[in-house]
Amino acid sequence: EMLPILTKPLIQYGVEEAMSAGMTTMAMVTSKYKQAIKNHFEPHADIESSINGTAKSALLDEVNHASEQCDFTYIEQDQMLGLGHAIYTGKPLIGNDPFAVILPDDLCTNKGDSVLTQMTKLYQQHPDHCIVAIEEVPMTEVDKYGVIDGELLEDSDDAYRVKSMVEKPSPEEAPTNLAIIGRYILTPEIFNVLESTAPDKNGEIQITDALMTLAKEGKVIAYKFQGERFDCGSVKGFVVATNAFAKVDGII
Ligand code: G1P
CB neighbourhood size of 52 (10 A): 10
Q: In a mutational test of the pocket of ligand 1, which residue from 147, 180, 181, 238 has the highest number of ligand atoms less than 8 Å from its CB?
A: 180
Q: Residue 146: CB within 6 Å of ligand 1?
A: yes
Closest ligand 1 atom to residue 103 Cα is 12
The pLDDT-based confidence of 95 (bands split at 50, 70, 90) is very high
The mean of the pLDDT values for the chain is 96
State how far the Cα of 50 lies from the Cα of 56, in Å rounded to an integer.
Answer: 10
Neighbours of 165 (CB within 10 A): 26
208 lines ligand 1 (CB under 6 A): yes
Give the pLDDT confidence of 102-139 residue by residue, as tens digits.
999 999 999 999 999 999 999 999 999 999 999 999 99
pLDDT score for 127: 97
User: Is 149 a residue whose pLDDT tops 90?
Assistant: yes
209 lines ligand 1 (CB under 6 A): no
Q: How far is the CA of 41 from the centre of ligand 1 (A)?
A: 25
CATH number of the domain within which 158 lies: 3.90.550.10
Residue 200 pLDDT grade (very low, low, confident, very high; cuts 50, 70, 90): very high
Percentage above 90 pLDDT, the chain: 91
Which ligand 1 atom is the nearest neighbour of the CA of 179? Answer: 10
Region 226-230: mean pLDDT is: 98
Residue 161: band (very low, low, confident or very high) from pLDDT cuts 50, 70, 90: very high
Q: Which has the closest alpha carbon to 179: 241, 112, 106, 247?
A: 106
57 — pLDDT class (breaks 50, 70, 90): confident
Q: How close is the Cα of 101 to the center of ligand 1, in Å?
A: 12
What pLDDT is stored for residue 59 in this prediction?
Answer: 80
**141 vs 162: CA distance, rounded Å:** 20
Q: How many domains does the chain have?
A: 1
In terms of pTM, does the model score above 0.75?
yes
Pocket test for ligand 1, best of 87, 88, 141, 145 (most atoms within 8 A of CB): 145
Domain that holds residue 48: 4-248
pLDDT at 64 over 90: no
